[in-house]
Amino acid sequence: MRELTGATGVRLYKLFSPPGDLLAGLAAEIDDAGLRMHDDGFSWPEGTASLEHFPYLQECFASGGRCVRELSREKVVRQVFMIRRNDAEIFGLVEMDTPVLLTADQNRLVEGILAIFCNCLTMLDYSEIDSLTGLLNRKTFDESLMRILSHPAVAGDESDAFPRLPKRRQPHVAVFDHWLGVMDIDHFKRVNDQFGHMIGDEVLILVANLMRSAFRAQDKLFRFGGEEFVVLLKPTEAENAFNTFERFREQIAEHVFPQVGQVTISIGFARIGMNDTPSIVLDNADEALYWAKEHGRNQVWSYERLVAEGRLAPHAQWRSEVELF
């Protein structure tokens, strides 16, 4: 795009929509210094902030169309193009600096390139998203977990990279453990048998929606098929990880599901160690889930806590309820 338009710089901003906010983060940029990628597909890009901290981008987003502004001091023309999903939702913006105003043909060229880009993203969505719930599917889980295992967190105060985010959205300081939670709807077969598979599907969709509201936007949410869900938590302390899963368990138990009434969920979670493999991490979390289901259901248990209390033997080779491959 830069070569075809003669732009001096092109920047791709990605939009994030945590509850009650709209954030923008610089995902990639290219100029005379070369191409730089800032989005690893898991964390928010460094410098991500509320859209209001990018006044020109916010103005263009509100207009819903292409914006043009001449910057006399920099001697460039800055234009912003919307990136839309399914011709509706704006999920990104492209900011382009050019020496002169783009011609009508160049504008059509840029919009055509962005349309192809959106089509490619749509095809990726189809392959990575669970069609029923809209959560990530099993296909993308292994890649996400391997990215965590191969990129250990760097020591230091990560919050400096996000000075304009509210404190509740800033990364935790000097905490390096990611967590994996495996969740299973209790007695889900009874729901299908008593109310039918259509109502069962509605329960799955509602659980997925509650997951989106309960977990942070940086956390990865997956459906593994059936009534099994998986969460990859961003770094936090063990106590916070437990509290996060416990709040979600309570939220499910207190929710009134249409026609069904109360539904409960059992959760097992485990620390993601840098020397672990995907199968080890999943087996650890699944052992904790199995314990929760065998000891009353509607509970949250940590693999590390069960081992520390002598309820589980470390590295026990249990049969996993979740199939990774």
Long-range contact set of residues 85-92: C-beta below 8 Å, sequence gap at least 24? 85/118, 85/121, 85/122, 85/125, 86/122, 90/15, 90/61, 90/64, 91/14, 91/15, 92/12, 92/13, 92/14, 92/15, 92/27
Cβ 236 vs Cβ 177: under 8 Å: yes
The CA-CA-CA angle for residues 230, 143, 213, to 5°, reads 35
Q: Which amino acid is at 324?
A: L
Give the Å distances, CA to CA, from 143 to 211, 270, 302, 324: 21, 18, 23, 12
Catalytic residue numbers read 227
Residues 6+ apart with CB under 8 A from 254: none
Separation between Cα atoms, residue 109 and residue 5, nearest integer Å: 9
Token digits of residue 70: 């001449």
Q: b or e along 238-275 (b: 16 or more beta carbons within 10 Å of the residue's beta carbon)? A: eeebbebbeebbeebeeeebeebeebebbbbbbbbeee
Neighbour tally for 46: CB within 10 Å: 13
